[in-house]
């Protein structure tokens, strides 16, 4: 059994900001909720989301040895720069590729724990496996799920990357869900620029600026193009208006998460002059690489 004190110490050494723990099997209501979302077609054309449903809610389906799930949060927030006439870029894209940064931190936790438990098995995921990270975060008590479907963490807010670590050992203390502190606030829903937040906790990717500008393949329809306005990559509006973020969001201590902030403050013409070679060189280790050069040009063409 792993002690809470030991895990606290290793997490502090890793640079991660928060953690909590739960069991590998989610309560049944998460599967039903996920299936309802899929049945409504809210996943847009991200068909990969519809696969491996059983594993998403029951990690033991694939890793029978898993006894515990640690869920981590890493603060990436940095105050945005509002240079005049620059297209909007989401805060999480200001730095290096977070997948690599967060998983290295999580694996450093695992390696340290392995020094005390030589037979420890582990597996880390950061947006790369079919796991409902947010559901596990809620069950672990890492934070509560806001009405915009973001995990809001006490003292940090929602500007955090999530990652999980599967462990073959039980731990001394598991968390439990926190009270929902959104109460009667609906600012995220009221301010969503495209109406993608159709109701409390209901997110329709088909309308979401993050999906449209990053994940969507091919050309925009006329309806979609009208939604883009000044957005080049992603959207943070539902986080920006959240009172908890306004209270808790603070500058990350990890400089990897904002190294490109100033570089990204380009006008439409400056973005348009970027060559394919420059795009590849500058964004080789960035989430911007997911956009690909052709989609960048598509997004630029749709800007007001």
d(CA 150, CA 160): 9
Closest of 104, 216, 222, 121 to residue 163, by C-alpha: 104
Q: Which residues of 54-76 are buried (b: 16+ CB within 10 A; e: fewer)?
A: ebbbebeebbeebbbbbbbbbbb
Provide DSSP, 105-141.
Answer: HHHHHHHHHHTT-TT--EEEESSSSS--HHHHHHHHT
d(CA 231, CA 281): 23
3-state SS, residue 50 = helix
Provide DSSP, 139-176.
Answer: HHTS-EE-TTSPEEBTTTBS-EEEEEEEESS-BS----
d(CA 126, CA 140): 17
User: Cα 13 to the chain's mean position, in Å?
Assistant: 22
127 given a catalytic annotation: yes
3-state SS, residue 241 = coil
Say which of 45, 74, 127, 199 is annotated catalytic.
127
Residues annotated as catalytic (active site), given as ranges: 127
């Amino acid at each position: 059994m792993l002690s809470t004190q030991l895990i606290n110490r290793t997490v502090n050494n890793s640079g991660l900001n928060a953690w909590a723990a739960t069991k590998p099997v989610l309560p049944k209501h998460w599967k039903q909720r996920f299936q309802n979302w899929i049945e409504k077609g809210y996943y847009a054309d991200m068909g990969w989301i519809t696969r491996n449903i059983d594993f998403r809610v029951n990690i033991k389906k694939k890793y029978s040895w898993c006894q515990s799930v640690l869920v981590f949060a890493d603060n990436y927030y940095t105050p945005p720069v509002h240079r005049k006439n620059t297209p909007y870029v989401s805060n999480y894209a200001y730095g290096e590729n977070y997948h690599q940064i967060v998983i290295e931190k999580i694996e450093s936790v695992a390696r340290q724990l392995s020094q005390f438990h030589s037979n420890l098995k582990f597996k880390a995921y950061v947006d790369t496996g079919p796991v409902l990270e947010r559901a596990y975060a809620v069950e672990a008590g890492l934070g509560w799920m806001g009405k915009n479907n973001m995990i809001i963490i006490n003292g940090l807010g929602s500007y955090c990357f999530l990652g999980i670590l599967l462990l073959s050992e039980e731990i001394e203390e598991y968390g439990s869900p926190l009270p929902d502190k959104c109460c009667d606030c609906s600012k995220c829903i009221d301010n969503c620029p495209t109406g993608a937040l159709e109701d409390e906790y209901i997110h329709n990717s088909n309308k979401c600026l993050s999906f449209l500008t990053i994940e969507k393949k091919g050309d925009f329809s006329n309806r979609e193009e009208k939604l883009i306005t000044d957005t080049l990559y992603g959207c943070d509006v539902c986080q920006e208006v959240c009172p908890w973020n306004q209270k808790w969001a603070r500058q990350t201590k990890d400089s990897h998460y904002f190294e490109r902030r100033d570089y990204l403050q380009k006008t439409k013409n400056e973005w348009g002059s970027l060559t394919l070679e420059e795009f590849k060189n500058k964004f080789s280790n960035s989430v911007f690489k997911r956009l690909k050069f052709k989609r960048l040009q598509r997004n630029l063409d749709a800007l007001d």
